[in-house]
Amino acid sequence: VSVMAEQSRRCSYFFLYDASKVTGESDPTRDGICYFYPEETPIDKQELLCGQLAGVGRCVSELSSSPVRFLRLHRNKYAIRMKDDFFWALGCSAEVPTISVCELLDQLINIFCFYNGSVRQSYQMNTRETLAARWARYLSNLQSASSELHHIFSSLKTIDSTNVDPLLLLKAALILQACQRCPLVLAGCVLFRGRVLSTQMSPQLTMKVMVHESETYTKSQRPNGPSSSSSLSAVSSTTVFLTLSELQYLQSPPVDKLSRSHSTPQKDAPPKKTRLSRTLSDMASTESDSSDPGPSQRISFSPWLSDSDNSSFSLAPPQIIADPQSPPPQSPVPPLSNGKNSREAEEALKDSFYQSFHSNGDGDGFIHNNGDSSVFEGNSHFSGGEGDGGTACGNVFDLQGAESHDDEAMVGDGGVGCGRAQGRHKAQQRDLAPCSGAFEYPGESPLVPMTLYLHRVKGLVLALLVEPHFLSDTASMEEVYHSSLASLNGLEAHLRTISSGAPGTPGPYIFAHFDCIQSTLTTNLSGGPGGALEHPFVRATSLLHLHFCNTETLQEAIIRSAGAAVYGTRSVAQETYFQQQGGSLRNSGIPNHQDSAFLLPSKARHRLLKHGVNLL
Amino acid sequence: MKCLLIASESAEVLFYWTDPEFQQNIQNQYGASQEEGHGLPAFEDSISTLFAPIIISCSTMVDRLGDSYTSFTTENNHVYVLHQFDECLYIAVNGDGEEGEDDLRRKIYVMKKMIEVLFGMVTLSSNLIRRELRPQDTEQRARLWKHLQSLLETYSHLRENDQSFLVEAVERLIHPMLCEQCIEFLEKRLVQQLNSSTERAGEEVLHAFILVHTKLLAFFSSRNASTLATSDLLALIIMTQNMYPSNTDVDDPGPEDVESMSGSGPESFYTPEPSPTDRDSGSSDKPEGVTTPVFEFMDPDIQMAEDSLQTLEGPPPDPSMPRRVFLEISSKEGLYPMMPHSMYCLPLWPGIKLVLLTKIPTNNVASSVYKYLEAFAKLEKRLSEGQEGYAATRGQLTIHDLRSKLDKFIKALGPSDLQSAQLQNAWTEFKNRAFGRGGPGFTKDLIPWCKNMKTQLCSIYRQCFLVDSGPGSVPQRLSPGLQERALTMVQEKLVDWKDFLLVKSKRNITMVSYLEDFPGLIHFICVDRSTGQMIAPSLNITEHASSELGKGPVAHFIKSKVWSFVSRSRDFLRKGYSTITLRDGDFYFCYFLWFENETGYKLEAGDIPILPDDSAPIGMLAWDYYSRKLLRYYSKNHQGEVVKCYELLTVHLGVIPTEIILQHCRQLASKLWEPSRNPLL
C-alpha cells in the first residue's frame, strides 16, 4: 500500500461486480462486489458506483445489443468490460487518454486470467479476500510503470540498452535459445531488476510474466526480508493460463521450429529492435515521405489506392527477410499478423483443438508436446507470416484493405478512442489479441494451463513458459537448469557492474520513440516527477498518439500551442515524437514558412540519428 | 441508427427524434419483451420505458455523487452522449458510425439553441418549458414534435453537406457589384418603404436579408437595430431551409453552365463577369427545382389543398403569419438574450428567399421581464450561498428599485387577465415575506418565493409572446398586402439575376481560379470569426456536376477528408493547439488560427484555453466558442483593443514540399481578406 501511495494514482477506481449474486429484490448490492479499489471507499459509495454503473451499463448494452466498452462522467472516465454476469470498471481522471484506460483494464483482466485461470472458476475456488489481494497486487503492479509516457503507450519496461554492452544482450538471447533445445520449453525471457533484457514472447505475454517476476523481486528487495543469497538464487514455478492464440504462437509448426533453431541467435533481443525499426522506417519513408516530388512519385487520389499503399506496410516482414544485412527476424512477431487474421485463426484453431480432444478422447486440457501441434498444421499459414509469407501476407493485405474501408467512416468522428473504432493494426495487435482469450469465447474461456518456470540469480531472472509436465521430468529440468546456470551467473555479474546511471539531462530537445511491435519505448525524458518543462510534450504526445491510433492513414503531424510545438511521425512499426527545447516560439500563428515549428521534422531526423532512430 | 431524446428528470419524454432504423430497433426490442397478443405500445411509451433506467440513473448520480454521465460507447461502436440543461436531460445516440461524440454533443446543443429561438425565456423555467415541449393535447404535441424533428433533420443535412454549417459561419455570395446594389436596394427602397407604411401594425423592420439557398446575397440592418449574432443568423437560415428546403441535386446546373458562369481567370472568382440578363432570358423556361415544394405566395389555396391531405398536419399555417423568434440583442444597457422578434420568410423563387426580422411593439415588456428575472436569479443565488439581509440584495437593481419598478410593471400589465393576476399575487406574497414584519426577510427561506416569482415572470413572458391571441382577434403582423408588395419589389429587382444567382450559389468560388497561383492546392476554407463569415471553394459532389475535383467517389472522398479534418482540428483546438499540420494519406492538411487588431496587425499568439472533452462544441451556431471563450480569454492581454480572429484550413497534395505549402497558406491568408480585392469581406 505504501508503494501505491508514493506514485501518483493513475487509476481512481477499479471494481469487479458480479450481478449473478444480486438477483432478488432483497439482495444487497454489496453481495455482488467482488473487489473494489480503493478499498477504503465507504461501502455505500461502493454500492452506489457498482449499482449505478452496472445497471446503466446493462441498460445501454440491451439498447445497443452490445456490451458497453467505455463510460464517461464529467470528472472521471471508465473503461468497462462486461462478460457474463461480471462487470469490470476502471476509472481514471478525465485527462488520461481513453485508449490507455481501456488498455489498462484489459491488461489487468488478462493478468488475472494468466495467473488464475477463468474468473468464474477462480471465484468458485477461492475466497473473495484471497482474490481481492491478487487484484490489488496486479493493479499496483500495473500502476508502477516508470513514467507517464510508459502509461500512454502501455509499453514494456526495458533495460536501457545504451548502457548495456550489446554482447550481453546477445548472451541473454543465447541463453534463451539454449533452453529451447528442451522440447518442453515453449519460450522465455530474461529480466534484470524488473526490466526486460531479452524476450522471445509477444509484448503482452512478456508483460504478464513480468508481473510475477517483479513481485518476487520486490519481495526480495525488502530490507527485512530474507536476503540470504540462497533465497535469491532459486528456481520456482507457478501455474499460468494461456489463451489459445498465445499458445498457438508459441507452439508454431515443426517447419518453423526448424527454421527457428537454425536462425541466428540474435532474435528478439533489444538490439535488433533498432535494426528492425530502422528497416521498417526506411521502407516506410520511401513510401510515405512524399515531400520530395520525385518523378517516380505516384499521386494517388483514390481512397482505395492510398489504403492499399498503407496496407502494403504490413508486408514488411517479407521485405525485411529479403534484406541481406539483417538476420531474418522471424517470429517476434505474432503481433504482425493483424487481429482479424488471428481471430480467424483462433476460430479455426479452436475447432481443431476440440476435434483433437474428441478424437483422442483426451480431456485433460493439455496439449502434450509439440508433436501434437501437427494438428495445427492446417492453419500454419495463419501463424504470423514467416516462411510462407507470400500467402499469409496476401491474406493480411486483403483483410486490411476491406477493413480500412469500414473504418474510413469512423475516422472523422473524433469520438471515443476506444473499442473497435480503432480496429487498426495497432489496436488489433496490442489490444484485441491479448484480450481475445478472455473475452471472445462464449462461455468459459478455454484457457490452457502451462507452467511458468523462474530461475533467479539475484537481480537476474530467467523466466520460461514450459509444458506442465516439465516439472515432473527431472531430466529436462536438470538439463535446462545446468545449461543456463553458468551463463546466468556470468551475465548477472556483468550486469551488476553497470550503473543504472542517472539519466542524462534532456538537452536541447525531447523525444520519445515507441516501437509498436515490441511495445518498447526509447526516450530521453527522465521520467521523474515534477517535469514541468516536459508536461507540454507529454500532453501533446498523448493527444497525437490517440489520433495516430484512430486514423491509420495519418503519418505526420506538427501541433503547436502557445508554449510548445511538437512533431509526431509514425509508420506501421513505430511512433516518434520530438520537441525542440528552448528558443522563443514567439509568433503570430499566421502561416509563415520561416516559422521554426516547421523545421521540426528535419531537426528530428538529424538529432535522433544518434539515438538509433532513423526517420530518413 | 440515430436518436435524440429530451426527457425530464422523472423520465417523461419531452421530445424525441429517431431515424427509421432506430425506431425499428426499439420496436423489435419492445416487441420481444411484450407478451403475445398485445399490440405494440405507442412508440413514445417504448422509448420512454427503454431509456428510463438511464435517465433515472443520471439523476441518482447527480444527487449522490454530484457528477453525471456524459457519454457511453459500446463494443459495436454505438455512441451515447448525454447532457443536462437545467432539468432537461438530452440524450443523443448514434449506432451507424456516422457521428462521433463531438457531433452528437453538437446536435444536442443545436437542438437546445433551436428550442431557445422558438420558445425564448420560457426555457428558463423548467416547469413551463416541460409543458411547452409536451403539450397535453396529443395532436398539438405531434405537430410540435414533427416541426422540431424536421428542424433537426434540416440541421443534420446542412451539417453534413454545407461547408458553412460545417464550420458554422455564414457564407456570402461573392459578387461585390450585385451585393452592393442589393444592400442599397434593401436600405433605400425596401426597408424604408416598409417602415414608413401604415400597414405595419406597429412593427419595425430591423433586419432584411436575401438568401440564395443557404448563402447570403445581401444583408441590411436598420440604424437602430443591434447586430444580429452569427449564432442567431445561422439558426434562422436553418429555419428558412426547413420552411423552403432546397433540393440541391435537382437544380444543379449542367457542366456547360458552370464553365460559362465561373470564368477562368483568378479575377473571375472575385468578380465573375456576368451578363446574366441575356443568357437568362434565353434559358428562363428551363425547368427549375422540379421537386422543390412549390410554394407561391400568391396562391395559398393550392398550398392549403396539398397540406390538408396530411391529416396530422392540422390546419396549415397562414403563410403571411410571421414566425415568432427569440434573438439576442446587445444594446447600450447590456445584453438581452432571447428578445421576441417576428420573422417573415418570403420565397422569391425556389431557392431564393427574402427574410424580414421585425421588432414587435410590446418588445419592452420582454426586456423588463428579463431584467427582473435576472434580479431574482441573482438574489436566489446569493441566498442559497448563505448570504443574508441586504448583503444578498446587492446588484444592478437595488431591491427598492426593483420593488418600485415591478410594482409599476404589474400595474401597467393590468389586472384584467388571469396571468397577471397570478403574478400580482406572487409579488404580494414575496413582498410580505421579504419586507413584512412577520416574514423571514432575506434568508434562505425566501428562495422558494424567488423561484415562484421567476416562474410567474416566465409565464407572463409566455403569455405575451408565445400564446396566440384567441380566435377572432386580429393577429399582430405586417399586413399581407404589405408583405406582398415587398415580395414583388424584390422580385422585380432580381428577376434578371435569379438563374445566375442559383448557379452562383453552387459555384460561389471555384478552385479553378486558384490552380495557377497555388499548384497542388486542393481545397481551403477561410473563416473570419469576428464577423462570423467564411469563404471556401464549392465542393460539388453530385453525380452529374463535375467539379475540378472530378466527380463521384473522388469528390466524395475529398469531401469526407475535409469534414474529418475540420473535426480533427477542433479536437486539437480544444486542447490549446492553434497551428496544426497533418500528413494523412496522399494529402497534407494545415490549420492556422490567429488574431489581428483592427488595422490588420498580427497579434502574438497567446495561450488558448484548454477545455475538457465534454465541453460545449467548438463553433458559432449553438454556442459561440470564438467570442465567448477564445476572444474573451485572449482579450485579457489586449484590453481596449478590437481583436479579430481568423482561421485558415488548407488541403494540399502530399507531394508538394512543405515549404511551398506554407507559402501558399501565407499568401491565401493575406490575400483572401484583403479589402481591395473583396470589398464585402
Strands (E), B311-460: 323-331, 334-349, 352-359
Distance (Å) from the C-alpha of residue A138 to the closest C-alpha of chain B? 25
Residues B10 and B78 in one domain: yes
Q: Which pLDDT score, from 0 to 100, does residue B551 have?
A: 62
B516: buried, middle or exposed (CB in 10 Å: 19+, 13-18, 0-12)?
A: exposed
Residue of chain B with shortest Cα separation from A544 = B572
* CATH label of the domain that carries residue B55: 3.30.450
* Residues in chain B where the model's pLDDT stays below 50: 36-37, 249-313, 676-681
Nearest to A546 by CA among B70, B106, B614, B613: B613
The partner residue sitting opposite A557, judged by closest CB among B61, B582, B592, is: B582
> Hey, of A74, A541, A615, which one would you mutate to test binding to chain B, going by the most B CBs within 10 A of its CB?
A74
**Domain match, A30 and A69 both:** yes
- Please report whether residue A383 resides in a domain: no
- The whole-number pLDDT of residue B473 equals 61
Radius of gyration over every alpha carbon of chain A, rounded to an integer in angstroms: 24
Residue A199 Cα distances to A149, A458, A465, A545, B641, angstroms: 22, 19, 11, 25, 62
| Separation CA A274–CA A515 (nearest Å) | 9
Alpha-carbon distance B263 to B362, whole Å?
Answer: 51
Dihedral sign, Cα of residue B388, residue B394, residue B400, residue B406: negative
Quick check: is B499 in a domain?
A: no
Claim to verify: residue A492 and residue A604 sit in the same structural domain: no
Q: Is residue B480 part of a domain?
A: no
CB atoms A70 and B648 under 8 Å:
no
Instruction: Answer whether residue B269 is part of any domain.
Output: no
Q: Best residue in A64, A69, A553, A584 to probe B by mutation, most B CBs within 10 Å?
A: A64
Q: Tell me: do B532 and B633 sit in the same domain.
A: yes
Within a domain: residue B610? yes
Could A302 and B560 be called an inter-chain contact, meaning their C-beta atoms sit closer than 8 Å?
A: no
| Nearest by CB: A306 against B71, B585, B612 | B585
Give the SS3 label for residue A570.
strand
Q: Which residues of chain B neighbour A62 with C-beta distances below 8 Å?
A: 29, 50
* Alpha helix (H) residue ranges in B385-415: 399-413
If asked whether residues A463 and A540 sit together in one domain, one would say no
Q: What average pLDDT does chain A have?
A: 71
* Cα dihedral A240, A244, A246, A249 in deg (nearest 10): 130
Residue A354: inside a domain, yes or no? no
Q: Look at residue A534 and tell me if it is in a domain.
A: yes
For residue B553, the chain A residues in CB contact (below 8 A) are 302-303
Interface probe, candidates B57, B166, B577, B652, chain A, greatest A C-beta count within 10 A: B577
Among chain B residues, the shortest Cα distance to A548 is held by B584
Residue in B67, B71, B579 nearest the CB of A560: B579
Query: Is A409 in Cβ contact with B97 (below 8 Å)?
Result: yes
In a domain, B166, yes or no: no
Residues A485 and A582 in one domain: no
Worst-scoring range by mean pLDDT, A386-395, A476-485, B24-33, B350-359?
Answer: A386-395
CATH of the domain at A88: 3.30.450.70
* Angle of the B20-33 helix axis to the B43-65 helix axis, nearest 10: 90
Nearest to B567 among A59, A412, A590 (CB): A412
Of B108, B137, B161, the residue that ends a domain is B161
Report which of B612, B628, B575 is spatially closest to residue B67, judged by C-alpha positions.
B612
Of A303, A420, A590, Cβ closest to residue B557 = A303
Q: Which residues of A are less than 8 Å from B571 in CB distance?
A: 414, 543, 547
DSSP state of A228: -
B657/A293 touch (CB, cutoff 8 Å), yes or no: yes
CA distance A183 to A467: 9
CATH code of residue A185: 3.40.1840.10
B456 plus B525 within the same structural domain: no
How far is the C-alpha of A432 from the C-alpha of A425, rounded, in Å? Answer: 10
Residue A373 lies in a domain: no
Residues B205, B357: contact at Cβ < 8 Å? yes
CB-based contacts of A394, cutoff 8 Å, min separation 6: none
How confident is the model at residue A394, as a pLDDT?
A: 33
Residue A590 touches partner B, C-beta closer than 8 Å? yes
Note the ipTM here. 0.85
Chain B nearest-CA distance from A167, in A, is: 39
Write the residue in A556, A565, A588 that is nearest to B594 by C-beta: A588
Prior bond to B255 cis, omega within 30? no
Residues composing chain B: 681
Cβ contacts of B602 on chain A, cutoff 8 Å: 588-590
In B248-361, which ranges are E strands?
Answer: 323-331, 334-349, 352-359
**CA nearest to A558 within chain B:** B581
Residue A413 pLDDT class (50, 70, 90 cuts): very low
Asked whether residue A273 is assigned to any structural domain, the reply reads: no
Residue that is last in its domain, among B161, B181, B210: B161
Residue A610 CB neighbour total at 10 angstroms: 8
Residues B529 and B443 grouped into a single domain: no
Beta bridge partners of B72: A71, B80
Domain tally, chain B: 3
- Is B254 a domain residue? no
Within a domain: A353? no
Residue A1 in contact with partner chain B when CB distance is under 8 A: no
Write the CB contacts of A399 (distance below 8 Å, at least 6 apart in sequence). Answer: A338, A340, A341
**Alpha carbons B176 and A616: distance in angstroms, whole number:** 49
| pLDDT value, residue A326 | 38
Of B161, B189, B216, which residue constitutes the final position of a domain? B161
Contact B71 A69 (CB under 8 A): no
Q: Is A421 on the interface with B (CB under 8 A)?
A: yes
- The answer, yes or no, to whether residue A334 has pLDDT greater than 60, is no
Identify all chain A residues contacting B528, using CB atoms and an 8 Å cutoff: none
Spatial distance between the Cα atoms of B75 and B345, rounded to a whole number of angstroms: 46
Q: Are B72 and B80 in contact (CB under 8 A)?
A: yes
A to B CB pairs, distance under 8 Å: 260
pLDDT band at A592 (very low <50, low <70, confident <90, very high): confident
B81 and B151 assigned to the same domain: yes
Q: What is the mean pLDDT of residues A335-362?
A: 41
- Quick one: pLDDT at residue A535? 86
Same domain, A516 and A598: yes
Asked which of A464, A497, A530 is the last residue of a domain, the reply is A497
Write out residues 80-119 of A within 8 Å (CB-CB) of B.
94
Same domain, A212 and A132: no
Task: Please check whether residues B7 and B105 belong to one and the same domain.
Answer: yes
Highest mean predicted confidence (pLDDT) among A20-29, A184-193, B328-337 = A184-193
- The residue among A148, A183, A200 that closes a domain is A148
B contacts of A410 (beta carbons < 8 Å)? 77, 97, 100
| Contact flag B557-A301 (C-beta cutoff 8 Å) | yes
Residue B434 lies in a domain: yes
**Touching B: A residues 353-372, CB under 8 Å:** none
A616, A581 contact by CB (below 8 A): no
pLDDT reported for residue A275: 34
Q: Are residues A104 and A170 in the same domain?
A: no
Please answer yes or no on whether B571 and A547 come within 8 Å at the CB atom: yes
- A210 and A135 in one domain? no
Helix (H) or strand (E) holding A545: helix A535-550
User: Per the domain annotation, does A421 fall within a domain?
Assistant: no
Cβ–Cβ below 8 Å for B583 and A557? yes
Nearest CA in chain A to B64: A48
More reliable by pLDDT, B80 or A320: B80
Structural domain range at position A85: 13-148
Residue A530: which pLDDT band, with cuts at 50, 70 and 90?
Answer: low
- State whether A17 and A144 are in the same domain: yes
> What's the CA dihedral at B130, B133, B134, B136 to 10 degrees?
100
Asked if residue B452 and residue B370 are part of one domain, the reply reads yes
Q: Which of B219, B201, B198, B222 is nearest to B210 (CA)?
A: B219
Q: Is residue B222 part of a domain?
A: no
Same structural domain for residues A26 and A126? yes
Q: Let me know whether A489 and A587 are in one domain.
A: no
Residue A206 has pLDDT above 90, yes or no: yes
Give SS3 for A329: coil
CB A584 within 8 A of CB A491: no
The pLDDT value recorded for residue A596 is 84
What is the number of domains present in chain A? 3
Query: Within this chain, do residues B552 and B617 fall inside the same structural domain, yes or no?
Result: yes
Q: Which of A68, A559, A590 sits opposite B669 (nearest CB)?
A: A590
Q: Do B73 and A303 touch (CB under 8 A)?
A: no
Task: For residue B552, give the chain A residue with the closest CA.
Answer: A302
> Do the Cβ atoms of B42 and B27 come closer than 8 Å?
no
Count how many Cα atoms sit within 13 Å of the Cα of residue B371 in the half-sphere of its side chain: 18
pLDDT of B448-482, one tens digit each?
999 999 999 999 999 889 886 655 566 788 999 99
Measured between beta carbons, which residues in chain A are less than 8 angstroms from residue B78?
A: 60, 63-64, 66
Q: Is A406 helix (H, G, I), strand (E, B) or coil?
A: helix
Residues present in chain A in total:
616
Q: For residue B663, which residues of chain A lie inside 8 Å, CB to CB?
A: 593
Question: Which ranges in B414-446 belong to alpha helices (H)?
Answer: 418-435
Least confident residue range of A556-560, A602-606, B385-389, B581-585:
B385-389
Q: A79 and A23, same structural domain?
A: yes
Task: Determine, for residues B57 and A59 on separate chains, whether the beta-carbon distance falls below 8 Å.
Answer: yes
Q: Pick A61's closest partner by Cβ from B74, B594, B603.
A: B74
Tens digit of pLDDT for each residue in A240-298?
999 988 888 887 654 444 444 443 444 343 333 333 333 333 333 333 333 444 444 34
DSSP state of B589: E
Chain B contacts in chain A segment 8-37 (CB below 8 A) = none
The boundaries of the domain holding residue B416 are 364-465
The answer on B97 and B28 residing in a single domain is: yes
A286 touches chain B (CB under 8 A): no
Are residues B517 and B635 located together in one domain of the fold?
yes
**Residue A156 within any structural domain of the chain:** no
Separation of alpha carbons B526 and B514, rounded Å: 14
Q: Which of A256-260, A341-345, A368-372, A606-610 has the highest mean pLDDT?
A: A606-610
pLDDT at B628: 85
Given CA atoms B343, B344, B349, B353 in this order, what sign does their dihedral have? Answer: negative
Q: Which residues, at least 6 apart from B214, have a Cβ–Cβ distance to it below 8 Å?
A: B158, B162, B164, B165, B171, B237, B241, B246
The answer to whether the CB atoms of A293 and B665 lie below 8 A apart is: no
* A74 to B70: CB separation less than 8 angstroms, yes or no: yes
Residues B452 and B516 in one domain: no
Q: Does A223 touch chain B (CB under 8 A)?
A: no
Predicted TM-score (pTM) of this structure: 0.81
Q: What integer pLDDT is reported at residue B362 of this predicted model?
A: 86
With an 8 Å Cβ cutoff, are B70 and A555 in contact?
Answer: no
In a shared domain, residues B608 and B541: yes
